[in-house]
Amino acid sequence: MRSGARRLAVVPLSALVLLAGCGGGDPTETAATGTSTSAGTTSSSAGTPSATTTAPATDEVTDAPPFPADTSPDTGEAVAGEGPTVVTAVRVGSQDGADRVVLDLAGTAVPGWDVAYTDAPTQEGSGSPVEMPGTVFLRVTLTGVTNPYEAPGTPETARGVYPGPSGGPVQAIYYDSVFEGQALAYLGLDAERPFRVYALSNPTRIVVDVQR
């Protein structure tokens, strides 16, 4: 089991630049933890097998670690911060050599994570099977997440299936909401592939890159 090194960097908001689909710009963000990078934005209603995709966004990272050829579980520890920790959006897109999935978070706290391959996706709490595209699945568990009823003023992203980028290994993402302080998501892939996970700050987000 590998564990991502964690460091939280503060970057002025003016330094963030959305690239793909949102105009050009220079990469100016810094990595905050472990091993991964970002994606394009989608939203979905509960139980629907698809979602409306808006313009993809690219989060460039100037000091991300080299992409490890690794399919073993990836874990990271939480870092304390301000405000509620709520998953506010799921974004997905393509980068050079990887598909990138991003979970945007409210507040400055970084949740812990446990990302590993699993046989079949199931809903947290009920254990009911999840119907989604993919032949193998990455389970993404975030710990130290604020329960929705504890932060009614911070909308959580919708539960449901988010489509992956066309032609890439990530065929879909399922977000399952929060149960007892844990947020759960699944990535449906075409095959078991190396992946990496890390966090970025300003704004806070957890990123999963799946190697093409």
Residue range 2-211 in CATH 2.60.40.3500: yes
The per-residue pLDDT for 15 is: 34
Asked if the peptide bond before residue 121 counts as cis, ω within 30 degrees of 0, the response is no
Beta-carbon contacts of 11 under 8 Å, excluding residues fewer than 6 positions away, are 28, 29, 30, 201, 202
Q: pLDDT class for 64, splitting at 50, 70, 90?
A: low
148 has a pLDDT exceeding 80: yes
Tokens of 120: 């079949």
Lowest-pLDDT choice from 12-26, 71-85, 150-164, 165-179:
12-26
* Residue range 158-180: mean pLDDT, rounded: 94
Q: Which residue has the higher pLDDT, 76 or 166?
A: 76
Torsion angle of the four alpha carbons 173, 178, 179, 183, in this order, in degrees rounded to the nearest 10: 60
Nearest to 178 by CA among 80, 111, 102: 111
40 has a pLDDT exceeding 70: no
Tokens 């460091």 belong to residue = 7
Lowest-pLDDT choice from 34-43, 50-59, 165-174:
34-43
* The model's pTM: 0.72
Q: pLDDT class for 8, splitting at 50, 70, 90?
A: very low
138 has a pLDDT exceeding 70: yes
Summarised one tens digit per residue, pLDDT across range 110-135 is 999 999 999 999 998 788 999 999 99
4 has a pLDDT exceeding 60: no
